[in-house]
Structures are given as structure tokens and as C-alpha cells.
Amino acid sequence: MTWFNANTDKVWDLLLSHLWLSGLPILLGFVIAVPIGWFANRHRRLRGTILSLGGILYTIPSLAFFLVLPSIIGTGFLDPVNVVVALTVYAVAIMVRSAADAFESVSPAVLDAATATGFAPAGRAFLVELPLAGPVLLAGLRVVAVSTVSLVSVGALIGVSNLGSLFTEGYRTDNDAEILIGVIGIVGLALLFDLVLVIAGRLLMPWAYTGGQRTPIKPIVSFAQHLGGVG
């Protein structure tokens, strides 16, 4: 506790950089993965290939990825952009499968009805398919959020400051309190992200919580399979 009181500003700074280093990849990963998942679900023959590609991306060891990226995208070794790009790739890798499952979960009868009552293709995609895929997308996004928050800490090993830096520094200086604060900070941040997502889901999709429908647990199961399949 004394260490924390003496270093509040430092912890706060690290928390903020951890926040944006994880928030940005979660957001980018979602925005990139949703159209890919939609496409994969639409083109059944390409679905397998696209999803396997996602699985393969996820097997790249994160530390190696952080180190190789600068030579691929031409950034400096200490550039936080490396962490953001790498984590976005992981987020996409996980999220694409969830997104494909999410669009698959939309009832074909409802889509048929939407077409028959005069929705144009784009209107149907944005006004019907996307919102109805929402509950499963949200479940996938929660997995991505937690996974990304924890992966950011690896960035500390290549010198990008975040709450993970408390691990490396605490280990070096044999400071258990500092490591503990790092753990608490990361877990707290993951829970915060999760809470924000759950609340956003309730606000954006009130229809999913009115009884009748339940959020399917399929994405969590598929995530487990996804990890099992590559591990």
C-alpha cells in the first residue's frame, strides 16, 4: 500500500496507456471483423478458409509478433503502434469466427420476410441482419475485450509502457506490491470493459432481454473450440 501511495501518478499513467492500448484494438478488431464475418457467412464455400486463416493468425506467438512487426510495417521498435496493430490482428482473428456465428444465428425466416416486405439488400444488412446478430456479436466482443486487456501486458517486454510494466519492473526490483497492483489493475480494467459492454448491450438491444430470446452461449463454446483446435 505504501508503494501504491508513493506511485499513484505512475500507476494512473500506466492505466491510461493500458486503456487506450487495449481499447483501440478492441474497437478496430470489431469494426474489421464484422464485415469479414458477414462475408464468410454469406459465402459458405469460403467460410472454412476464412475462419481457418483467423485460427492460424491467433497461433502467432505475441512476443515474436511484437518484435517482427516493425520490419513489416516500418515502425520503430518502441512504437506503441506495434502493440496496437498486433492486438488488432488477434482481435480480428477471434472476432471473425464469432461474427460468422452471429450472422448464422439470425433466423432465415426473418431475413426472408424482410426481403419480401421490401428491404433493399443494404437496408436489410444494416437494419435487420446486424442488429439481430447483436447478442452473439456482443458475446464474442466480451471474449475479445478480456483477451486483449491481458495481452497488452506482453507489450511491456518490448518496452511499451502499460500496466504490464509493473510486472517487469516489480520482478526486477523484487517488489511484490508493485506486481500485485499490476494484477489488480489489469483484472479491474478487464472487468470494467466487460461491464461497459454488458450495459451497452442492454441499452442497444432491449429486445434481447424481454424474455423469449436468450443470448446464445455458442460464441464462447466456439472460442473454446477455436483455442482447442490450434493448441
Partner 1 sequence: MIEYRSIGKTFADGTEAVGDFSLQLPSRTTTVFVGSSGCGKTTLLRMVNRMVDPSHGQVLIDDVDVATRNKVELRRSIGYVMQEAGLLPHRKVIDNVALMMRLKGASKKEARDRAHEVLETVGLDSSLANRYPAQLSGGQQQRVGVARGLVTDPNILLMDEPFGAVDPIVRDELQQELLRLQRELDKTIVFVTHDIDEAFLLGDQVVILKKGGEIAQVGSPADILAKPANDFVSSFIGLDKGRRTLHVEERNGTRIVVDESGKATGVLAE
Say how many C-beta atoms besides its own lie within 10 A of residue 159's C-beta: 13
CA dist 167 → 14, 21, 87, 152, 154 (Å): 12, 17, 19, 12, 10
Q: Is 112 in the site for partner 1 (CB under 8 A)?
A: yes
Considering only residues 29 to 68 of the shown chain, the ones binding partner 1 according to CB under 8 A are none
Q: Is 119 in the site for partner 1 (CB under 8 A)?
A: yes
Closest CA to 89 of 178, 165, 5, 24: 24
Angle at the Cα of 200 (from 199 to 206), degrees rounded to 5?
Answer: 85
Question: What mask of x and - would describe binding to partner 1 in positions 134 to 173, judged by CB under 8 A?
Answer: x---------------------------------------
Considering only residues 5 to 24 of the shown chain, the ones binding partner 1 according to CB under 8 A are none
**Nearest approach, Cβ of residue 98 and partner 1 (Å):** 19
Question: What mask of x and - would describe binding to partner 1 in positions 81 to 110, judged by CB under 8 A?
Answer: --------------------------x-xx
CA 109 to chain centre: 30
Single out the segment in contact with partner 1 by CB under 8 A; choices: 15-23, 131-139, 166-174, 191-199. Answer: 131-139
Q: Among 46, 77, 207, 229, which residue sits at the site for partner 1 (rule: CB under 8 A)?
A: 207
For partner 1, which is the closer residue by CB, 61 or 206?
Answer: 206
